[in-house]
Structure 1
Amino acid sequence: MKPAVSPHSPSVVSSSRPFAARWRSGWLTAWAVLVGALVALPVLAVISHVLSTGTSDTWSHLASTVLPDYLWSTLWLCLGVGLGTASMGVGAAWLVTRYNFPLRGMLEWALVLPLAVPGYVMAYTYTDLLQFVGPVQTALRDTFGWTRADYWFPDVRSLGGAVILFSLVLYPYVYMLARTAFLERAGGMLEVGRSLGLGPWASFWRVSLPLARPAIAAGVSLALMETLADFGAVSYFGVQTFTTGIYRAWFSLGDRVAAAQLSTALLGFVILVLAFERLSRGRARFHDTTLRRARFQARRLRGVRAALAVVACLIPFVTGFLLPAGILLEMAITEGDAQFGARFIELATNSVTVSGLTALIAVTLALLLGYAARLRANSWVVRSVHRLGGLGYALPGTVIAVGVLIPVSRIDNVLTNWLTHHFDWQSGLVLTGGIAGLVYACVVRFLTPAVQSVDAGLLKITPSMDNAARSLGLSPAATLRRVHFPLLRGSLLTAALLVFIDVMKELPATLVMRPFNFDTLATQAYNLASDERLAEASTSALAIVVVGLLPLIVLSREIAKARQGSATPH
């Protein structure tokens, strides 16, 4: 006779735990796959819509009239912005890391601040400053007694003006990555170069620049993707790009097929940018094999050289942040929005609502993806889905909006007909009639910053903590709740803050996806500026800039703490 087995005996527990763990992690994988499918849906919808509908009459008209302009304007814009951001970002990063001069400590973090100014806001401020009736040309005419026919002044609302504007706004991407690369390379490598007779310029070109090339390429790629995604600035400047063409085909011509076809063409540009980032690295590999991590001793500049270094770093900071912020502040105080009261509160409430919901959902999904990748690190499915979660940030907001509207509007119509048929309830459009579709588009667009922040936080948690929690009988969900979540609070807060600010500044997706009579600070600034009411637009634009400063301050503090921690001797 066999002995009775207690349900709490070790054999039963040991045999049931692996099944429970597999069951829970399987559900976690399924949720992660669902998140990846939701992120990929807009892209698949755009491509499938083009393949299933073929060529439209509108597309034929666009191809024979404005499509060549879209192509060449986008190419020249990307080429100019790539060169501009690379030269300003790398130059500023090299100066503040390798030389010591007056104001260097302040400029080291101030050079990041132009990221807080959206491109369309910069376009409004410089148009007001440099237009014919603006203060610059007015002062020239009053000083020299000129008339309109006596002088020539460059038109800021042009392709060249857009190149300069985007370079001023987006160079911090290159600056931050290049500066980190210059700082992390061991000082011994430059000392060896100096001992071999290399001067400052030769050390830069032959040692530091090759080592920082992958970081510079990544920064330029980010700047180019932001350029391709912009709508407000290029639309206001009258530059014909694929983004403005998508918006015009959807709203002015009412042709979804043409909008989807232009979106597919714009996806081709994004793929080219990503390919550029890969190919720019080549097969060359640069590794730092020295053990010393001491910071390279900055060379002190004096006299004319110090003055030139200060001016070189002040130009992008002043023109990219200080001047436009000052113009907005002056206009907001002297004139500003006449509807600053209840209407402004409504706009701010709408912006905060959409941004807050998007941040909450994005951080939750990012935590789900990151934790699934941690638990199922050997699963190719989970790894692929995790990479797919970063797809949205590489896509322009107009492409995502078109990709969301195509399937969501169909679901809306089916749902409305079903509710009317079965319950006789005229619900109207449930998804696209409210902010659900807009929040979905923003989640897809800005899930990447949340995923990156969560991944960075999870990497700091040693796997031994997971093993200890598992040995104590905690399930994956309990481990996440009781062990990981308290340690990830800082990373989750940073992720939520980044997504919140990105959604506050987002214009293309908001313009396309917002429900009727639902305006945000971004759309209000764009609508007023489009009507040439720049002074009234300054109030909303300044609010966006002020809110955009928050993540920069937080991230600067986190970077400073991390550097102090890494510099502490062990």
Structure 2
Amino acid sequence: MWQAVSVLVALGVLAPIASLIWLALGADYAHWQHLMQHVLPDATLNTAMLLAGVGVLTLVVGTGCAWLVSAHEFPGRKVLQWALLLPLAMPAYIVAFAYLDLLHPIGPVQGALRWMLGYSSPREWRLPDLRSMGGAIFVLGFVLYPYVYMTARAMFVTQPAHLMEAARMLGESRFGAFRRVALPMARPALAVGLSLALLETLNDIGASEFLGVNTLTVSVYTTWITRTDLAGAAQIACSMLLAVVALVWLERRGRRHQRYGSAQRMRPIQPERLRGAAAWGATLFTALPVLIGFVAPAAYLAWETAKRLRLGQGISSGLWTSLANTLTLAMGVTVLTVLAGLIVAWATRSGVSTRHPSRWQARVATLGYAVPGTVLAIGLLTPALAVDAGVARMLHLPGLPLMSLGVVLVVACTIRFLVIPVGGIESGLQRIPSTLEQASRLLGETPLYTLARVHLPLLRPAIATSALLVFVDAMKELPATLLLRPANFDTLATWLYGEAARGTYEEGAVAALLIVIAGLLPVVLLARTQSGVAGAAGDSDAFAHIPDNPS
């Protein structure tokens, strides 16, 4: 039974992708010709430039910060090593929303700079426009660098000290030892972190649209919603799948060599104390990403929220409704996703224990994370409408009941975030000795009873962590929610999107602050995990491996 249900879950994940390809191929040639001439060249070039720029920025910032806090001692290091994770609590569209107001020509930052320089008008002096490719790279890079930072630091703190010491004894400088020894060993971790950051860049719609960059994701949205051309949107989405395949290939290639074995206990790298200008330079380099990616936008949101409440304007009923919708959606997605993840992980465990391993369901079930939300929404629409129409006829209901109740949106988010519980619960199951399961079966218990009475109590931390991560990710999800939400159904993310589109920042700041507060919870968990990796580095007989789902 477990295997059958697991197969159904895997097929459910594949259904939107198959539907998307069928929908794109079913359109006439004129659609393809128009897209190839007028849409795809510009959108593809913008997407490629954005991915390249964000890739370089995240690699430089993430790798540099990871090496500094792992191998050096400087003022503020103990705080910065976990504070560097804080930008993960800020979705890119929220950071873009904040900086559009902060860096506006008549905003507080440019106004203060003009006052200091002696100018009185934006016509006399102004900063480059944030609504540009450079602005999008700046925002996305300083939001997504923690993906590279996490994976790189997990590798750096577990590298053996004697290799670096040997390089220094052979005459290499500190930077030379890093470049020729530590960096090559960390390449698999860097590949994984970079691919995750680029997948998030490809999935982004809010920041890119706010900043005026017409990427493939933005083109999918405008083609479907603005031009009501579903076939054209499906064709653009299919072209995005090529980029997804390339990024997934990069991640899988990086994961091939993520484990390094050792026959003896290895002494990890000991931080080397920096002094003088070098120490304060390291503090500045590692503090700047935290200031740009979290402190400045979070302070702006808190200030705008406090100003609104201080002026007695309060919070509108529409925002409270959006908060209730967000919590309801996130709770539904969490329950369904964790349940499906538990089924897939347990089916994999059962197959291994019966000497019939079948991991393809787990691999297929986690593909949804690699598919951008806009692509997933378009692929899911056709099968969802078919099922919805069947349910309406069966129950004699008018309209499309599943769409209007938000069931399709919950399913889309479940497919997208299924990787989190599958990876987390599989890792938890691997820590449970198989002898416990064998003892239960020898006593005549069924697999279901064994799962309920033996494994679930031991899996409680893994399930709770997975549920928290899914809940927060569902609260922040924008692309799929924009495309599949029922009529007159707003979440905090879509409320913020609407406020930014209208140029009204006051209530948008309140919605954004609520999302950021929720996003801090998994960041705390990640900070504890990173501290655990660093603390256990000296007690492990093998180098730590990159977690299956660092996000």
TM-score by length of 2: 0.93
Quote the residue 1:367 is aligned against: 342
Match of 1:192 among 143, 166, 183: 166
The worse-fitting range, judged by mean Cα deviation, of 404-413 and 219-228 is 404-413
Counterpart secondary structure, 2:513: helix
1:387 alignment partner in structure 2: 363
Higher relative contact order (CA 8 A, sep 6+): 2
Q: Which amino acid aligns with 1:468?
A: A
Q: Does 1:107 align with 2:80?
A: yes
**Residues 514 and 468 from structure 1, CA distance in 2 versus in 1: closer, same or farther, beyond 3 angstroms?**
same
Question: Could you tell me whether the CA contact under 8 Å between 1:56 and 1:258 is conserved in 2?
Answer: no
AA at the equivalent of 1:359: T
Structure 2 equivalent of residue 96 of structure 1? 69
- Deviation (angstroms), 1:232: 0.6
Q: Which has the larger radius of gyration?
A: 1
Residue of 301, 320, 340 corresponding to 1:328: 301
**Cα offset for 1:147?**
3.2
1:232 corresponds, among 181, 194, 206, to 206
1:16-95 equivalence runs, <5 A: 27-51=1-25, 53-55=26-28, 57-95=30-68
Partner of 1:299: 272
Q: What are structure 1's unaligned runs of at least 5 residues?
A: 1-26, 420-424
Q: Is the 8 A contact 1:177 1:215 kept in 2?
A: yes
Give SS of 2:186's match.
helix
Amino acid corresponding to residue 340 of structure 2 in structure 1: L
Judge conservation of contact 1:401–1:512 (CA < 8 Å) in 2: yes
Check the 8 A contact 1:188/1:290 in 2, yes or no. no
Identity of aligned residues (%): 39
* Counterpart for residue 469 of structure 2: 498
Aligned to 2:544: none
In structure 1, how many angstroms separate the alpha carbons of the residues matched to 2:27 and 2:398?
33
Determine the C-alpha separation between the residues in 1 that align with 2:166 and 2:265. 13
Matches of residues 216-231 of structure 1 in structure 2 within 5 Å?
A: 216-231=190-205
Match of 1:527 in 2: 498
460 and 563 in structure 1: CA distance in 2 versus 1, 3 angstrom threshold: farther
Q: Is the 8 A contact 2:59 2:190 kept in 1?
A: yes
Q: Deviations over 1:222-266 (max 9, x none)?
A: 000000001111111111111111111111111111111111111
Task: Spell out the pairing of 1:428-507 with structure 2 (5 A cutoff).
Answer: 428-507=399-478
Match of 2:378 in 1: 402
Q: CA deviation at 1:564?
A: 4.5
Aligned 8 A contact 2:205 2:479 in 1:
yes
In the aligned structure 2, how far is the partner of 1:385 from the partner of 1:280?
22
Partners of 1:132 and 1:138 within 8 A in 2? yes
Mapped partners of 2:28, 2:517: distance in 1 = 45
**Which sits farther off after the overlay, 246-255 or 405-414?**
405-414
Question: Do the aligned residues in 2 keep the contact of 1:188 with 1:292 (CA within 8 Å)?
Answer: no
Counterpart-to-counterpart distance in 2, 1:554 and 1:285: 23
| CA distance in 2 between partners of 1:276 and 1:477 (Å) | 38
**Tell me, what secondary structure is at the counterpart of 1:432?**
helix
Q: Does structure 2 conserve the Cα–Cα contact (< 8 Å) formed by 1:210 and 1:286? A: no
Could you tell me how far 1:436 is from its partner in structure 2? 0.3
Amino acid at match of 1:497: L
Counterpart Cα distance in 2 of 1:519 and 1:96 = 41
Per the TM alignment, residue 563 of structure 1 is displaced from its structure 2 partner at its CA by 5.2
Count residues in correspondence.
537
Alignment partners' CA distance in 1, 2:272 and 2:313? 53
**1:275 shift after superposition:** 2.6
Measured in 1, the distance between the counterparts of 2:368 and 2:540 equals 40
Q: Secondary structure at the match of 1:148?
A: coil
Greater shift after overlay, 548-557 or 101-110? 548-557
Distance in 2 separating the partners of 1:511 and 1:565: 43
Distance 1:358 1:545, change over 3 A: same
Any conservation in 1 of the 2:189–2:258 contact (CA below 8 Å)?
no
**Is the 1:362–1:443 Cα contact (8 Å) retained in structure 2?**
yes
What are structure 2's unaligned runs of at least 5 residues? 542-551
How large is the Cα RMSD of the aligned pairs?
A: 2.1
Structure 1, residues 27-83: CA drift from partner, whole Å, max 9, x if none?
1110110010111111111011122x1336454333322321101000000000110
